[in-house]
Amino acid sequence: MLDIIKKASLGAVSNTNPVAFSYGTVTASEPLQIQVEQRFILTGQALVVPESVMESWTELEGTRILLRRGLEAGDRVLLARMQGGQSYIVLDRLVES
């Protein structure tokens, strides 16, 4: 009986697409738009953007210094699709190796 319950629960999780990773390309920065693998474009509330990919400035001795630039058109990003496929998290900007 326990094995049947385990198999059923594993099947239910795999059918809901818990997480999937994708590559995307930023097509516009204001408002942010990301094209996912040349299939569709994500905008607005479909994107969860962490602070690590947002523009960041600091002030040092009266001089404003850019610490990290924000996402710009042409940037490649790594995305994680959240369960259900309605939202994508921008994990990080990708660089050429």
Inform me whether the pLDDT recorded for 1 exceeds 70.
no
Is 10 part of a structural domain of the chain?
no
Inform me whether the pLDDT recorded for 8 exceeds 90.
no
Q: Which residue has the higher pLDDT, 17 or 38?
A: 38
Domain CATH code at residue 72: 2.40.50
Handedness of CA 41, 44, 48, 53 (dihedral sign): positive
Is 41 part of a structural domain of the chain?
yes
In eight-state DSSP terms, residue 86 is S
Is 8 part of a structural domain of the chain?
no
Is 54 part of a structural domain of the chain?
yes
Q: Which residue has the higher pLDDT, 75 or 17?
A: 75
Is 24 part of a structural domain of the chain?
yes
pTM: 0.74
91: pLDDT confidence band, cut at 50, 70 and 90?
very high
Task: Please give the residue range of the domain that contains residue 61.
Answer: 18-94
The size of the chain, in residues, is 97
Query: Please, are residues 71 and 24 in contact by the beta-carbon 8 Å criterion?
Result: no
Overall domain count for the chain: 1
Is 11 part of a structural domain of the chain?
no
